[in-house]
Amino acid sequence: MFEIVNRIEMAEGTVVLDEIMAPKIAGKARPGQFVVIRANETGERIPLTMAETDKEKGTITIIYQVVGKSTALFKSLKEGDFFLDIIGPLGRPTHIEKVGKVVCVGGGTGIAVMHPITRAYKEAGNEVTAIIGSRTKDLLILEDKMREASHTLLICTDDGSYCHHGFVTDELKIILDKKEADLVVAIGPVPMMKFTCSMTKEYGVKTVVSLNSIMVDGTGMCGCCRVSVAGNTRFACVDGPEFDGHEVDFDELSKRLQAYVADEKISYDAFKESYQ
C-alpha cells in the first residue's frame, strides 16, 4: 500500500499531482523512468512517468490528466488514502551528459515528464532552454518549476491567452535558425513530437523523444508497447521510453493509439488540439 501524502489539482482540476510515499522506488529512480500504478484490486494498471522524486522524504510525484475511468478513480482518492500497487522504477533512465546547448520541449502533461530531465541537463552543466506549451493558459502546468530547472523558459499557448500565440515549434524554429541547439528533447502528444522531429531533422539536430505507447505489464512481456524505431521493433517499457526521434515511426504509433484514443491523429489540426 502506498499512501498519498500530498495532492494538488491543476489546470482547472483536470490535471492532478500526487506525492506518494514509496521509499524504495524514490531511492532508485532516475530522470526519465516511470512506474505502473493500480488504485485497487479491480483497477487498471496505468504507466506514469515520475515528475519528481525525493530520496530523503521517500516520496515520488506523479502528474496525470483525468481523461477516463481509471484516472477518475485515481482522483477520487484523497490525501491519506492509498494506492494498492506501484511497480518501479521501470524503463531506461535518460542519458544525461554535457553536450552544450539543450532545448527541452514539453507539451501538455508531457511537461511533468520533462521537468526532472530539464533539471538534470542543467545540473550537468548544459545551457538549457525550455519551451512549454498548452492549449490555453489555464491548462499550463509547472511553469515555476520549469523556470527554475532551465536557464531560459519560453511559453506558448494555442489560443494566445498567455505569452506566445502559437505552437512550441514556432519558438523552436527561431532557436534552430540561430544554430543554438546541440540537442533537443521533446515530450508530449504524438503530433507535437512528430512535428518537432520533422523540423529538427532538417537542421541535423539530434532529438530524443519519450513515447507514450500503450502498456500493460511494463516489463516487456505483453508486447503492447511495441514501436518501430529505425525499422526494428522495440518495446517502449524496456527499450525506452526514450528513443532517437528521427528514427521513430510516428504514423504507426499514432495508428496504434487510435485503437484507444479516437482523436489521436497525425495532422496539424490534431497538433493544435492535442496539448490538453
pLDDT of residue 232: 94
C-alpha cell at 221: 512481456
| Torsion-angle region of 12 (φ positive above 0: left; ψ -120 to 50: alpha; else: beta) | left
Q: How far does Cα 102 stand from its chain's mean position? A: 17
Q: Structural domains in the chain? A: 2-90 (2.40.30.10), 101-273 (3.40.50.80)
CA distances from residue 205 to 108, 141, 172, 175, 274 in whole angstroms, order as listed: 23, 27, 12, 11, 24
Q: What is the pLDDT of residues 148-205, one digit of tens each?
A: 999 999 999 988 988 889 999 999 999 999 999 999 999 998 999 999 999 999 999 9
pLDDT of residue 261: 55
Q: What is the dihedral of CA 71, 49, 29, 42, to 10 degrees?
A: 30
pLDDT of residue 214: 80
pLDDT of residue 264: 41
Q: How many Å apart are CA 115 and CA 264, to the nearest integer?
A: 24
Low-confidence ranges of the chain (pLDDT < 70): 259-276
C-alpha cell at 118: 530539464
pLDDT of residue 266: 39
